[in-house]
Amino acid sequence: MPSPIEDPTLGGGGGDEVVVVPWPLLLRRKVVRRTEAGDRYRWWVLWAVLFGLLAVNVTFTILAVALPRIGDDFGASANTMTWVITAPLLLFGVAAPVLGKAGDIWGHRRVYLLGMVGAAIAAAGSALAWSAQSLIAVRALHGFEGAATGAASMAIIFSVFEPGDRVKAMGWWSLVGAGGPVLGVAIGGPVIQAFGWRWIFAAQVPFIIMAGIVAALVLPETSRGARERIDWAGAGALMVASLSLLMALNRGPEWGWSHPGVLAGFALAPVAILAFLRIEAGAAHPLLPLAYLKRRNFSAPIGQAVFSQFAYMGGFILAPLLLKKVFDYSETRIGLLVVARPLAFSISAPIAGYMAVRLGERTAAIAGTLAVIGSMGVFATITESSSDLVLISALVLSGVGLGVASPSVASSVGNAVDEKDLGIASAAQQLLTQIGLVAGIQIMQTVQAAREPVVGTVEAFHQSYLLGGAVCCLALVCAFWVRSADRS
């Protein structure tokens, strides 16, 4: 146990009273006092949160790339290994609403640090996995910790930034979200080739621990809500809805869209949503106050995120397949080309956050959505004779589009709710956005595969990208409904 330190400043009012305080707690209080003394404390909080998110998410892309090698080591099929990616996505849908609300009740710093502990355990367990099944089980834990750190970190940032400046913070948030996986590929590729895939997770553990220590020292204690019970009935209904819909979307391409399990998932989701709405309407302490759904700056930005992510992620996942099937490019060349999209996202997002302060969130959301629609149009014109410049243009246009829109969309949702509900609002936004991107990935890939035998390879890609563009037009409608923050 660490040795205690006597701190006479923490007494209860008597002049001679001395309270014994463990030195880690004393160190944290000194760090917070120093940083809070200056106006830059909010930026220290932002950097601490983003350091943690980078540590947690840096391996996501390289894990997807390494799956074939991991499957060979375990003697597992490709279908089995897809659950390494699918399991955390599904568990995120289950955990996000409860953990978001838990942060509102018990404090977001506590939930965030709990998530960092889970991330360290998940990374260590992944490095020590002895079979495909054990790796899937450990990565499922990543869904829980992702739900904890994701919603809590966004709520912490919103709590220290004024509503008019939150879009700036969300610009940097978007940079780390898109740039972290790129950094993971750049570093993880050589590590895997030299030492094996387990080392990417082994090296991640001290990185997460370091980020957790920084967070424990710097992050503020957010205000806690009333000691109310979590609405478990509402949480259960929302879990069933999200899990059944995500499961149906994920299994549709594998089992067939007419498979009884897939149809059951699609049928169960709306029933569970209706049950959730009915439960929330009569709940004393609802998981998500339904009045927020009537606020245009809550519903419209989330709608924009759902439909734009459908096109953005669906188009991005199709891009390597297009480059392989139509142009027969090597994996190295494909990797160098597709990295243009997340790089464009990372560069544009912070700039867009600052520009939105002058131009307004509505303008940024509309402009970004138009760029994503334009990228789908460029992809739909690509033929065997198209140059790499056209391919890069389509990828960059997509990355810039979402990079411009995302900070404004995220900050608009935060500004639309009461401070006491920032956690559940952030969780709802991330959960629904995830459903949109999973739907885009699965449906656009299915359309391409189904149409290829009928119309040919190139035209099948064209039709799939046109579908993405059509769905993104719904995002444009939502963007027009977003109101810019009042900075007068």
pLDDT of residue 377: 94
Distance CA 243, CA 269 (A): 8
Stated pTM of the model: 0.78
Total Cβ atoms within 10 A of residue 334: 17
Q: Are residues 407 and 452 in the same domain?
A: yes
Q: Are residues 139 and 202 in the same domain?
A: yes
pLDDT of residue 416: 87
Q: Are residues 358 and 457 in the same domain?
A: yes
Q: Are residues 217 and 350 in the same domain?
A: no
Q: Are residues 46 and 67 in the same domain?
A: yes
Distance CA 184, CA 177 (A): 12
Which domain-ending residue is among 222, 242, 257?
A: 222
pLDDT of residue 10: 43
Lookup: tokens for 465: 């990208």
Helix (H, G, I), strand (E, B) or coil at 21: strand
Q: Are residues 125 and 251 in the same domain?
A: no
Q: Are residues 133 and 241 in the same domain?
A: no
The two beta strands, 19-22 and 4-7, are antiparallel
- The pLDDT mean for the chain works out to 81
Percent of the chain with pLDDT over 70: 85
Which residue type is seen at 215?
Answer: A
| Structural domain that includes position 246 | 231-286
Q: Are residues 280 and 370 in the same domain?
A: no
Distance CA 341, CA 405 (A): 15
**Is 3 contained in some domain?**
no
User: Is the model's pLDDT at 134 over the cut of 80?
Assistant: yes
Which domain-ending residue is among 178, 193, 222?
A: 222
Lookup: tokens for 417: 């709710």
User: Is the model's pLDDT at 22 over the cut of 60?
Assistant: no
Q: Are residues 67 and 214 in the same domain?
A: yes
pLDDT of residue 481: 93
Which domain-ending residue is among 286, 306, 326?
A: 286
**Is 89 contained in some domain?**
yes
**Is 2 contained in some domain?**
no
Total Cβ atoms within 10 A of residue 252: 22
Q: Are residues 347 and 272 in the same domain?
A: no
* CATH number for position 466: 1.20.1250.20
For residue 59, which of 140, 106, 119, 7 has the smallest C-alpha distance? Answer: 119
Please check whether residue 458 is in contact with residue 332, taking contact to mean a CB–CB distance below 8 angstroms: no
User: Is the model's pLDDT at 88 over the cut of 70?
Assistant: yes
Distance CA 235, CA 280 (A): 10
Distance CA 344, CA 56 (A): 22
pLDDT of residue 300: 93
pLDDT, tens digit, for every residue of 256-297? 888 998 899 899 989 998 998 888 888 777 777 888 888 898
Lookup: tokens for 403: 């990079």
Top mean pLDDT of 125-129, 316-320, 477-481 is at: 477-481
Q: Please give the tally of structural domains in the chain.
A: 3
Please check whether residue 474 is in contact with residue 308, taking contact to mean a CB–CB distance below 8 angstroms: no
**Is 5 contained in some domain?**
no
